[in-house]
A and B are shown apart, each in its own frame.
Chain A
Amino acid sequence: DAGITQSPRYKITETGRQVTLMCHQTWSHSYMFWYRQDLGHGLRLIYYSAAADITDKGEVPDGYVVSRSKTENFPLTLESATRSQTSVYFCASRQGTDTQYFGPGTRLTVL
């Protein structure tokens, strides 16, 4: 059982390029979340989704776009990457309880 996976695990890109980070979960959890982790800030919520085709903004949504056409997938797109978006990105999911289950993360570097 894979649980929740993220790809790629590492990505280097250049300023202005579009980047998509993938998140896939095998549990059929209704809720999915995207966080970014930066030193001194902990994890901050970017976007979340309550179900397919239902998404909402979190604390730091600017510069990011999400979609959720299928329950199991929740891609995060940086339409025009900036250096300030260099970070570690975590996807999470939950169903029923308050516990969120996190993926292994994607380390993104924007040059």
Chain B
Amino acid sequence: QQQVKQSPQSLIVQKGGIPIINCAYENTAFDYFPWYQQFPGKGPALLIAIRPDVSEKKEGRFTISFNKSAKQFSLHIMDSQPGDSATYFCAATSGSARQLTFGSGTQLTVLP
């Protein structure tokens, strides 16, 4: 049972394009929604995160849009660069241990 569904599985854009990655969740107990970025051979690293009381959060070229009623959130990467090529995971947190439930990941390739 996948509680956080992520799409697309892979994405290829040209440099300067705006890739969008979408996630949907089912569990209304989730209360924190981070995005992690992972480069080959490395562990995931926190990129940006949002709480459900706001609809949008922007950090540099990365923006999360959050729709609480639809239980959906998405990551937008403005002016994408080849260095942004990585795997992106959405996630959701709940419980006292703040354990993460991850989406299945999106492999992003930004062509020069």
The smallest beta-carbon distance between A70 and chain B, in angstroms, is: 19
Binary contact track B37-68/A, C-beta < 8 Å → 1, others 0: 00001111110010000000000000000000
The smallest beta-carbon distance between A105 and chain B, in angstroms, is: 6
Query: In the complex where A56-B97, A98-B49 touch, is A42 in contact with B102 (Cβ < 8 A)?
Result: yes
Which B-chain residue is minimally distant from A91 (CB atoms)? Answer: B43
CB neighbours of A42 from chain B (8 A): 4, 6, 89, 102-105
The smallest beta-carbon distance between B31 and chain A, in angstroms, is: 9
Which B-chain residue is minimally distant from A54 (CB atoms)? Answer: B97
Establish whether residues B44 and A40, one from each chain, have CB atoms under 8 Å apart when the complex forms.
no
The smallest beta-carbon distance between A46 and chain B, in angstroms, is: 11
Which B-chain residue is minimally distant from A103 (CB atoms)? Answer: B43
**B28 sits at the interface (CB 8 A):** no
Query: In the complex where A45-B99, A50-B97, A58-B99 touch, is A90 in contact with B44 (Cβ < 8 A)?
Result: yes
CB neighbours of A50 from chain B (8 A): 96-97
CB neighbours of B102 from chain A (8 A): 35, 42-44
CB neighbours of A35 from chain B (8 A): 100, 102
Contacts from A to B (Cβ < 8 Å):
31, 33, 35, 40-45, 48, 50, 56, 58-59, 90, 92, 94, 98-100, 102-105
Please provide the 7 A-B residue pairs with the shortest distance between their CB atoms, ordered closest to farther: A102-B43, A42-B102, A43-B102, A42-B104, A98-B32, A42-B105, A102-B44
Given contacts A42-B105, A43-B100, A45-B101, 5 further A-B contacts (CB under 8 A): A44-B102, A48-B99, A98-B34, A98-B93, A102-B44
